Amino acid sequence: MKDLAGRIAVITGGGTGMGRELARQLVAEGCHVAMCDVSAAAMEETRRLCVADGLPQGLRVTSFVADVSDEAQVKAFAAAVARDHDTDRIHLLFNNAGIGGGGSMIVHERAEWERTFNICWGGVYYNTRAFLPMMLKADAGHIVNTSSINGLWASVGPMMPHTAYSAAKFAVKGFSEALQTDLRINAPHIRCSVVMPGHIGTSIVANSRKIQANTESPEFTAKELAQMRARVASMGVDVSKLSDADIGRLAHERARKFLEEAPMTAAEAAKVILDGVKADRWRILVGKDAEQIDRLVRADPERAYDIDFFQDLAKQVGWKLGGN
């Protein structure tokens, strides 16, 4: 599917980050876009940017508020796409929505753990189920599932558990790989790619906190502060002299750095993804850090979760010790 003009693309998590940039770049190529997100305001900003970029006449950019971890809402989204685009088929499905949180099976509450897992994995599964009938009716289709480097290496550092997100991203990767055979046998006109980004400059840290805490307030709750204090302490920092305000500032700074100091922007990542789709690549690594991590983990999997492995890896990919 090298020419995207006139096609219809569905994007989950289209309100920010890579989802927003995918929408903008697809529209620029003449592709109709239907997006969902939990934030109507964020999607409206995506649409505003598409219009500001120069929305081609007759091109449709639609939005629908939906939580991708809720199958009923996903089905409603699919029905809205059919209605708003006056169609019974789509060509591209970008399963992009995701959040972080619930890093530990032991420390974090089950609800937070499952919230992360159900969005990052359940959203991929539910949307693929919901939109597959519409892709089967198209002349060609492409499913693009966003996994992560954490779908091939379940770590962000030796002192920071990452179980919910990593388990979900491994599920996305395995599902996407299994679809290669399933689609070839049962729907050969549909392709599937798995996207594995490294550190991309997005608002996932800040957005994850809003969704997990169910708030738009920048002020942290006592529960959040206690969890963040424990996380900072687990990284070897003496937190006894840090006030709650200090802990809050550290959290906001972490979110800012993740967005603003990443080695690759969301727009750059979106271009790599679309180039990979056009080249019919089923495995799309995004970022030099992702490429290096892939090589290092494959070369020495037995050491992949040792502390010295992470220290060597961090130096090679340019990460600061303690995180991205």
- Dihedral sign computed on CA atoms, order 217, 223, 227, 228: positive
Q: What is the DSSP letter of 302?
A: G
Query: Which contacts (CB < 8 Å, 24+ apart) does range 271-275 have?
Result: 271/25, 273/18, 273/22, 273/144, 273/195, 274/4, 274/22, 274/25, 274/26, 274/29
Question: Count of CB atoms within 10 A of residue 320's CB?
Answer: 9
Q: List Cβ neighbours of 296 (8 Å cut-off, separation of 6 or more).
A: 309, 312, 313, 316
Residues known to be catalytic? 165
Query: Do the beta carbons of residue 150 and residue 169 sit within 8 Å?
Result: yes
